[in-house]
Amino acid sequence: MDSVIERQVASAPLQLFADDALRVVLCGTGSPLPSIKRAGPCVAIIAGGKFYVVDAGVRSTNNIGLFRLPGDRIGGVFTTHYHSDHIGDLGELNMITWAQGREEPLRVFGPPGVRRVVDGFNQVYGLDRGYRTARFGTKGGVDPNSELQALPFNADAPAVVLQENGLKVTMFPVEHQPGEVAVGYRFDYSGRSVVISGDTVKSSKVIAAAKGADVLVHEAMAMHIVERMEAAFEGIGNDSVSTILHDIRAFHTSPVEAAEVANEAGVKELVLNHLVPSPPNAVAERLFMRGVSDVRSKGVTLGYDCLMLTLPANSEEISQQCLARP
């Protein structure tokens, strides 16, 4: 037991934080529909000695722990919009990274509304923070470093929202009704670039932001499968779910459309993420990807939890591996 504990304690993959590459880790590729294999949407970007999280879907903090990303290395959270499946784990992510040694409030960057979300989580977790930080904090009281810190930005047009340690993060607006504001992000570091679409329909705004990027991580909804699900729920008289399944097809992107976006933007690798519905096996994965190869025959990956892409600095190389769980 001592030897297992020693391996676990010493196993944080600090080599991933070297400045030799831009790295992308899928911490959650699922959707609000239940999945054993996939947490809610979450992407970690590792650059400049830190990791940054785009969205914090339910159970994504658990994956971050399983992937051994050290909490004291978190640089911030970037929110794409405020649907519950994208922010559900924000409170847990905040508390766990503080417990692991984070020494400043966790920055949360986002479009208008982020302050209300952050204030809400700080309030909901207020008692928990008081109990934990009074006992374990260094000053015997509530540690202000355990709070979330809102950093709102105007989302009307593309803009740089963070520059530090050689990393540049550019926000761009996308189209995701009925939410009033939704954005995506582009990360540039050491001559490499990754774009995360957020939730959106097929959009010229994503194409413009992703022009010439190395990797595009794009949401994907298999419309042909969701349509059949709608009919099935309608058949059993569940009008609530069937109506939702009908409506959501109007503000998401199909896998084929995501492939078209990648082609028009000229990206090297397309990674499909936030999969609706989350395919549970290889057969479902093939059905999910129907028609994609007709549009884009190579440079497409169906994302899965633990996938890490490594983009060596000032190179054309893109490698993939599973960031193995201990």
The CATH code of the domain at 11-322 is 3.60.15.10
User: Where do we find the tokens 């409030």?
Assistant: 105
Report the number of secondary-structure helices (H) and strands (E) in the chain.
12, 15
217: tokens are 């991580």
pLDDT of residue 4: 80
pLDDT of residue 137: 62
**Percent residues over pLDDT 90 in the chain:** 87
24: tokens are 């992308």
Are the C-beta atoms of 31 and 41 separated by less than 8 Å? yes
Mean pLDDT confidence for 149-171: 97
pLDDT of residue 141: 66
Task: Give the residue among 317, 35, 40 at the shortest CA–CA distance from 192.
Answer: 317
User: What span, in angstroms and rounded, lies between the C-alpha atoms of 290 and 81?
Assistant: 28
pLDDT of residue 180: 75
User: What span, in angstroms and rounded, lies between the C-alpha atoms of 12 and 19?
Assistant: 17
User: Where do we find the tokens 């059993």?
Assistant: 236
Q: Which tens digit of pLDDT belongs to each residue from 108-118?
A: 999 999 999 99
In the predicted structure, residue 204 carries a pLDDT above the cut 70: yes
As beta bridge partners, residue 319 has 310
Q: Which tens digit of pLDDT belongs to each residue from 306-315?
A: 999 999 999 9
- Helix orientation angle between 126-136 and 90-99, rounded to the nearest 10 degrees: 0
Are the C-beta atoms of 315 and 192 separated by less than 8 Å? yes
pLDDT of residue 133: 77
The one-letter amino acid code at 282 reads A
Model confidence at 168, pLDDT cuts 50, 70, 90, reads: very high
All structural domains of the chain with their residue ranges: 11-322
pLDDT of residue 26: 98
User: What span, in angstroms and rounded, lies between the C-alpha atoms of 286 and 144?
Assistant: 48
pLDDT-wise least confident of 136-145, 223-232, 263-272, 292-301: 136-145
CA 80 from centroid of its chain's CA atoms:
9
pLDDT of residue 5: 80
User: What span, in angstroms and rounded, lies between the C-alpha atoms of 92 and 76?
Assistant: 14
Contacts of 60 (CB under 8 A, 6+ apart): 27, 28, 39, 40, 41, 42, 53, 89, 93
pLDDT of residue 184: 98
User: What span, in angstroms and rounded, lies between the C-alpha atoms of 68 and 8?
Assistant: 9
Model confidence at 14, pLDDT cuts 50, 70, 90, reads: confident
Mean pLDDT confidence for 14-38: 94
Mean pLDDT confidence for 278-285: 95
Cα dihedral 100, 102, 105, 106 sign: negative
Q: Which tens digit of pLDDT belongs to each residue from 207-255?
A: 999 999 999 999 999 999 999 999 999 999 999 999 999 999 999 999 9
CA 231 from centroid of its chain's CA atoms:
30
C-alpha distance from residue 58 to each of 63, 64, 206, 244, 316 (Å)? 10, 12, 25, 20, 34
As beta bridge partners, residue 43 has 26, 54
In the predicted structure, residue 139 carries a pLDDT above the cut 70: no
Contacts of 66 (CB under 8 A, 6+ apart): 306, 325, 326
User: What span, in angstroms and rounded, lies between the C-alpha atoms of 57 and 230?
Assistant: 24
Q: Which residue has the higher pLDDT, 298 or 131?
A: 298
